[in-house]
Amino acid sequence: MKERTFLENSIEAVRKIESDLQNTIDLIELAEEEEDADVLEEASNALVELQKYANRKRIESLLSGEADSNDAYLQVNAGAGGTEAQDWAEMVLRMYIRWAEQNGFKVTVLERSAGEEAGIKSTTIKIEGHQAYGWLKTEGGVHRLVRISPYDSNSRRHTSFASVAVSPVIDDSIDIEIEAKDLRIDTYRSQGAGGQHVNTTDSAVRITHIPTGIVAACQSGRSQHQNKDMAMEMLKGKLYEAELQKRKEAQAKEHGDKTEIGWGHQIRSYVLHPYQMVKDLRTEAETTNSGAVLDGDLNMFLESSLSHFAKPASP
């Protein structure tokens, strides 16, 4: 039923584009005959909007990977640099939350480690909605910020780094085998809001996959059992993403691709001083409206990177 609904929606989108295009063409012809400049401008604007809609549907058609239609986990970690880096990590988190909300996705904070003075050391959020992982899967990597630090009394320019990792929420259609002997499970006290029970019991859970060193943690649930189940789901997603990454790297090596696609490489630069610019270092997409990007206007970068990496590898 899920696949059927997706196909029906895809067909309906194509029919909408065809219908709207024909209606707009008819309107333009009518406006030209009657020399009505206002209607002609209105029709031209409609064409521009239709082009944007068609391009978004074209990008969505590229999201055909095994997990592309699934929900996503997004993790943000502050780089070295103390308060400055932790503040940048929180700005990155806010950017993705704003993007998700603007595009109709639901956001849940699963784990959060606050900075000593400001910002965050790390956090994991769950983004729920159709093709959430597909849209975000190319966002993993290091994000660099250049700005005048609000935490520097001498108003000097600072460069800060935050890393982003994205993995899918694994459903029943994808089988990930994990042996109990390969896991180390630790419990600890949750941080932040959540009520008296959350903050006074060891309800938070951290699971380490010993062979790979991959870690998943959750503290959003009220009970240790809930957090353990969620952490296991997160771990499955991270293991899936790690295997996917291995295959991408093997493909790149086989084809002599020099482009860095591994975790930890720098993917985007955000400059707030001495000029305004956000630039994707993989696709060369850039804009001078850095404020809008930090406020969640990411679709230009997501679309360019998805087009760039149009052929997904399946594990």
Tens of pLDDT along the chain (315 residues) come to 767 877 888 899 899 999 999 999 999 998 898 888 998 999 999 999 999 888 878 887 878 788 888 999 999 999 988 899 999 999 999 999 999 999 999 999 999 999 888 899 999 999 999 889 999 999 999 999 999 988 877 878 889 999 999 999 987 767 888 999 999 999 987 765 444 444 456 789 999 999 999 999 999 888 899 999 999 999 999 999 998 888 877 766 665 544 443 445 899 999 998 899 999 999 999 999 999 999 999 999 999 999 887 654 444
- Do residues 202 and 187 make contact, with C-beta atoms less than 8 angstroms apart? yes
**How many Å apart are CA 189 and CA 101, to the nearest integer?**
30
Rg (CA), the chain: 22
- Architecture of the domain whose range is 72-175+247-308: 2-Layer Sandwich (3.30)
Q: What is the pLDDT of residue 153?
A: 76
Write down the pLDDT at residue 251: 63
Q: Where are the domains of the chain?
A: 2-61, 72-175+247-308, 180-235
Closest C-alpha among 168, 138, 136, 165 to residue 67: 168
Is 180-235 in CATH node 3.20.20.70?
no
Contact predicate 163/92, CB 8 Å: no
Question: CA 12, 13, 15: angle at the middle one, nearest 5?
Answer: 65
Reduced to 3 states, what is the DSSP secondary structure of residue 160?
strand
Supply 289's token pair.
């409206």
pLDDT at 116: 85
List C-alpha distances in Å: 265 to 141, 143, 164, 259, 261. 5, 9, 10, 10, 7
- The model's pTM is 0.77
According to the model, what pLDDT value does residue 1 have? 76
For 254-258, the CB contacts below 8 A with 24+ separation are none
Place of tokens 């419990």: 187
Phi and psi (nearest 5°) for 62? Answer: -80, -15
